[in-house]
Amino acid sequence: MIEAVGLTRRHGRVLAVDDVSFRVRAGRVTALLGPRGAGKSTIMRMFLGRERPTAGQALVDGRPYRELDRPLRKIGGLLDTSRIRSRNAARARLGRLARRNGLPARRIDEVLDLVELGDLRAHGSGRLSPRDTRRLGLAGALLGDPEILVLDEPSVGLDPDGVGWLRTLLRRLASEGRTVLVSGHRLSTTSDVADELVVIGRGRLITSCPTEEFLDTAGAATIRVRSPQWMLFARELRRRGLAVAEEIDGEHPALLITGSTSQEIGELAAALSVVVHELSLRRASLDQTFALIADRTSSPSGIEHDAAVAAGDPAVAPHPAAGPRIRAAAAGSRASAGVSDRVRGR
């Protein structure tokens, strides 16, 4: 079992992770889900001892990583693999990891077979494809046959067949009783492999619950409004604590609103003398709803995040989590009752 307890990490002005607590259980695949810049990698790096928390703890079976004896046998991690470039470097890295953790050399061949890279058993100086690089990262994570796996965006660089293969592997690892935590930023691609979700936005925990439960809430109705005064209306909606995303469609974006009824929205438009060209009810896609949920997270770190976005920090730029046509509004989020609170207030 791994556990975050009041986990906090500050990088200068950016509060990357802000007082996050959750548990990841054995025998399940759990997805750490959040838009880009939400703090997923930072959390994973703290579980894997690569970064120290500013406050709180990242615990692996009750202990911080640095206190583990032969950590690779307990927890395997996949972080950024972009530096693994050649076949020889890859083998050398696996060799070093094996020696440091007292693992027999034959284990290297076993994990290479496990990730379907058996041809790398032979020495050679060729370059590795992104697919092979990712699989090699996984081989490193699996080397110590650990009971816990922490994998940051493991499907990056894999083709659709590779993604299917990975899904099967993750399910098998969990069915063997292991604790499996994977990160991702799209609900649609994560929900079919994860049993549990830990959702974060702007460094803060939004919810931690079974995937089924999250999907039930995520299927909540969305109200779509088109108006020539969309900018003013979006501002007023957010001022009232509603989550609003903008769907690029024609001259003016349409607004997608959750946490209210079409009657309330219509009455508000009338009260504000906002001209409305369309007001309709619809079910949002998973990723659209996820963008809305992430949009409504409110926190001091959110304000700092917005400041960083405004300052042009590309690492914290709002991400089109819901696909190219939808963008969650990054600024102006407020704490509110609604979708995220319904999820949280189980």
285 backbone dihedrals φ, ψ, rounded to 5°: -70, 165
> In 3D, which of 331, 328, 334, 333 has the Cα closest to residue 306?
331
Strand pairing partners for 2? 24, 60
The yes or no reply on residue 42 touching ligand ATP (CB under 6 A) is yes
For ligand ATP, give the closer residue by CB, 44 or 234. Answer: 44
Size of the site for ligand ATP (CB under 6 A): 14
Pick left, alpha or beta for residue 240 (phi over 0 → left; psi -120 to 50 → alpha; otherwise beta). Answer: alpha
Does 11 sit near ligand ATP (CB under 6 A)?
Answer: yes
Going residue by residue from 16 to 35, which x/- string records binding to ligand ATP, judged by CB under 6 A?
A: x-----------------x-
CB of 12 to ligand ATP, least distance (A): 6
Taking the least distance from each CB to ligand ATP, the nearer of 310 and 315 is 315
The reply to whether 36 sits near ligand ATP by the rule CB under 6 A is yes
- One residue of 28, 91, 185, 186 binding ligand ATP per CB under 6 A: 185
Q: Smallest distance, Å, CB 338 to ligand ATP? A: 23
Laid out side by side, the sheet with 243-247 consists of: 278-283, 221-226, 254-258, 243-247, 326-328
- Write the burial class of residue 26 (CB in 10 Å: 0-12 exposed, 13-18 middle, 19+ buried): middle
Residue 133 — φ and ψ, nearest 5°?
-60, -45
40 part of the interface to ligand ATP, by CB under 6 A: yes
Q: Is 169 left (phi over 0), alpha (psi -120 to 50) or beta?
A: alpha
Site string for ligand ATP, 293-322 (x = CB under 6 A): ----------------------xx------
Only segment of 38-46, 54-62, 130-138, 256-264 that touches ligand ATP (CB under 6 A) = 38-46
CA distance 141 to 152: 11
**Nearest in space to 227 (alpha carbons), one of 160, 273, 164, 176:** 273
If binding is defined by CB under 6 A, does position 14 make contact with ligand ATP?
A: yes
Q: Which residues bind ligand ATP (CB under 6 A)?
A: 11, 14, 16, 34, 36-42, 185, 315-316
